[in-house]
Chain A
Amino acid sequence: MTDLVPVLSATWGSEQSWSLDTYTDAGGYAPLKKALGMEPGDLIQAVKDSGLRGRGGAGFPTGMKWGFLPPDDGGPRYLVVNADESEPGTCKDIPTMMSAPHALIEGVIITSFAIGCNHAFIYLRGEVVHVYRRLLQAVREAYEAGHLGKDIHGSGFDLDVTVHAGAGAYICGEETALLDSLEGRRGQPRLKPPFPAVAGLYARPTVVNNVESVASVPAIVDKGVEWFTAMGTERSKGMGLFSLSGHVTRPGQYEAPLGITLRELLELAGGIREGHELKFWTPGGSSTPIFTQDHLDTPLDYESVGAAGSMLGTRALQLFDDTTCVVRAVTRWTEFYKHESCGKCTPCREGTYWLTQILKRIEAGRGTEADIQQLLDTCDSIAGRSFCALGDGATSSIISSVKLFREEYEAHVEQGGCPFDHSAAALFDYSDTPATEEAHA
């Protein structure tokens, strides 16, 4: 049995857990003082040695990303924290920032010191106003305590932090779209290269890191590389927040070493809801191919999940039991991608539109056998051909669900409708009256 390791989440249950006092009493901002006494290059090396990989989904080594910045040319360089948490199923950064915003702020200061940044930005999605309140207050408290501003704790290092609220657009979680949005433009992805490390915010060298990645840095500085590398698997080091949602007895945030399995997590979370069995689940959000019961023992690390045909993503484990219609689930995700496609590239803009048309037809019982093949063909025209990963993500659940549950698609075609009682999947009782068919948001 793998033990849980509350690190980021350790203080979430404390009185006024979000306040500077609570955070400091628990040892917070001591790592900052330690870091300010180190050489920036040594900090970068320590994070490289820790093996910390981006917790925002892609899993790129964080220290390596920092190391990609070109040598100092005297001009500004930026840290931008991606706090635009919007991937369906992903719900880890919001509680992190709501309950312990100072862990992020301290991570921002240490990271900025390491990469030579004097103005950092936190780009928070706009639809979480209380999280924004907490971040604004935490930054103000940090200034008042001398953790931010000029000559921080006599180190000669200056740093300003701006917390910026977005305005409702999933695509802004894509790092270059986020940068365009932060520059006051429509949030559309940029062509890469140049990568943000070379030409990011205002065309200056920029590191874009996820909330959880940055918030993990103070603990690494404090407890050391060996402490961090003792957790996890060979190439997936450290701990991470695993977010269990859906048909599970005790949904929530479980902080554990990478490599824990869903079977172990389910045991801690009280299992699938009573009287039912797990049918399918996402290991890392709606953009990752779905898994089934066959994957209960797959170690949840980057390599093992990849080898099993999906992606670790954001460790957003959405669990669906035997009452759930997979066609309904996939159709809804696809409508999401259609809604959130920025429209910049044709494969994604047009492709997600057509996928939605076909899926809604099948779900409503008006599809044909040929439609199922048409779905896969359309996915082929999007995956690998879109400007950014949104298009790829849109195809993941479709391709994997047709592979794993083709007979369920066929049942919709043959029966001329959905074989499932949707009310059975809900968490409250109601009788299933015919659903109103309405355009999705």
Chain B
Amino acid sequence: MTYDETTLAQLTEDAAAIIARYPVKRSALLPMLHLVQSVDGFVSPDGIEFCAGQLDLTAAEVSAVATFYTQYKRRPNGEYQVGVCTNTLCAVMGGDRIWDELSEHVGVGHDETTEDGQITLERLECNAACDYAPVMMVNWEFFDNQTPESAKQVVDDLRAGKDVAPTRGPAKVCSFKQVSRVLAGFEDGRADEDQGAGTPTLAGLEAAKEQGWKGAAK
């Protein structure tokens, strides 16, 4: 392993905190792979060795798991993972067009990263926001009701180093490494940041109010 002493000490401390959450330590593997990505920006050979060592697994066993899940990246990832949903509903509502224009605009295809290391593009499967179609995700934050123009603007702003807020979520999109640390189960203090619940989320509530809220005794 090539981690310097400080990095290794921090990783080891974090790994111990993750392992302590589970009755059986192998359960720590998925969050630990997110942790490795928070340091290296992908699941590196060093990271695989580290996880294997901590969990008494072989590197092959860790790799077998890492390669099963799409969020684990096998090459250095861009600072921002930009996914356009092209599953049926989003695709039909315009996701296919957004993907075509965005991919051409950025100059890379699916699972490819721009030369400046900023943007990794991905054709995304359903991300459970269908009532906000067409949807784009940036580092796993919601960008709802997108158009080709809005999607390109988001990416341009990110590449220009501006803070970009998702439509639902925190005040700004964090980096891939920062978000990976949250996914390893470490809070980043942004849970109370909010852009509003979103009109579709509240659509039924509004309709119920118009009905006079007769249904549910509250």
Q: Which residues of A contact B (CB under 8 A)?
A: 3-7, 9-10, 12-13, 16-19, 76, 85-91, 93-95, 98-99, 119, 125-130, 132-134, 136-137, 140, 162-170, 181-187, 202, 223, 227, 239, 241-247, 250-257, 268-269, 286, 316, 318, 320, 324, 328-330, 332-333, 336, 339-340, 342, 422-423, 425-428, 430, 435-436, 438-441
Contacts and interface: CB of A to CB of B under 8 A. Distances in A.
Contacts of A170: 125
Given A130-B170, A318-B89, A93 B128 contact: yes
Given A253-B200, A441-B122, A186 B207 contact: no
Given A169-B69, A244-B131, A253 B27 contact: no
B202 A336 contact: no
B38 to A, nearest CB: 12
A255 B31 contact: no
Q: How large is the interface on B (under 10, 10 to 19, 20 to 34, 35 or more residues)?
A: 35 or more
B187 to A, nearest CB: 5
B63 to A, nearest CB: 11
Contacts of A316: 130
Contacts of A76: 23
26 contacts: A86-B126, A90-B128, A95-B198, A129-B182, A130-B140, A130-B169, A136-B187, A164-B185, A167-B183, A168-B72, A183-B24, A184-B55, A223-B217, A244-B131, A245-B89, A246-B130, A250-B203, A251-B130, A251-B203, A253-B131, A268-B207, A342-B68, A426-B92, A426-B97, A428-B94, A441-B123
Contacts of B216: 4-7, 10, 239
Given A162-B22, A184-B55, A254-B207, A127 B88 contact: no
A426 B88 contact: no
A133 B72 CA distance: 19
A164 B168 CA distance: 21
A252 B130 contact: no
B141 A167 contact: no
A98 B206 CA distance: 18
B77 interface: no
A252 to B, nearest CB: 3
Given A6-B216, A286-B88, A137 B187 contact: yes
